[in-house]
Structures are given as C-alpha cells and as structure tokens.
Amino acid sequence: MNGCSQSRQGAGWLAGGWAGVSGSGSLAHYEIRIEGILDERWTSWFEGLQVTSEGKQTIISGPLTDQPALHGVLVKVRDLGLCLISVRRLDPDETGKTTPQ
C-alpha cells in the first residue's frame, strides 16, 4: 500500500450520460491532480500534457482525444505509484487554467 487513502465517489455517471463522454468528437481538456511534486521533465512521459505543481500537488493537464487516452494517462499515474487526488474534465472556458483547492 502506498499510503494513499482509498475512497470512491461514484462510478462516473452524470445526469446527461457518462462523465467525460462528448458526442461532438472534439478534444476534451482534463486536469489530473496527484499527490507530490513532479517537475516539467515528466511532460514527455505524459505525452505532451502540461505538468505543473501547486503546493504539494502536481497538476497534469491538457487535451485528450477520448476516454481510452484518459485511461492511458491514469495507467501511467498508477504505474508510477502516485496517489491520484482528482480527475476533472474542464469546461471550454476553463481550458489552460487550474483551480485552487
């Protein structure tokens, strides 16, 4: 066990359908927060997504083509043994911004 608290807040279903599924076929922008600090050298590992830090968290953000691409990033987070804090699909007006918690 890596010391990360294990909790689930749902299975990804939202009132309008599955979370993060877009019928438009356009890119969806995501913000993935993990515990600990990774520097910008990890950008290539995360296939060009932006890697920044805020306090004691790392934020991996950027556009992903579809749900399999999102799951691929999450597999990398898991394989590195990192503690996942949150995954959030950003509204178009939030693209490029991060929100404090």
The domains found in the chain, sorted by start residue, are 28-91 (3.30.70.1560)
The gap from C-alpha 82 to its chain's centroid, in whole angstroms, comes to 12
- Position 80 scores a pLDDT of 92
User: Minimum mean pLDDT among 14-23, 50-59, 65-74: which range?
Assistant: 14-23
The gap from C-alpha 61 to its chain's centroid, in whole angstroms, comes to 6
- Position 89 scores a pLDDT of 96
The gap from C-alpha 58 to its chain's centroid, in whole angstroms, comes to 10
69-80: average pLDDT:
95
Instruction: Answer yes or no: is pLDDT of 42 > 50.
Output: yes
- Position 100 scores a pLDDT of 44
At 39, the pLDDT band (50, 70, 90 cuts) reads confident
59-63: average pLDDT:
96
Distance, in Å, from the CA atom of 7 to the CA atom of 51, rounded to the nearest integer, reads 25
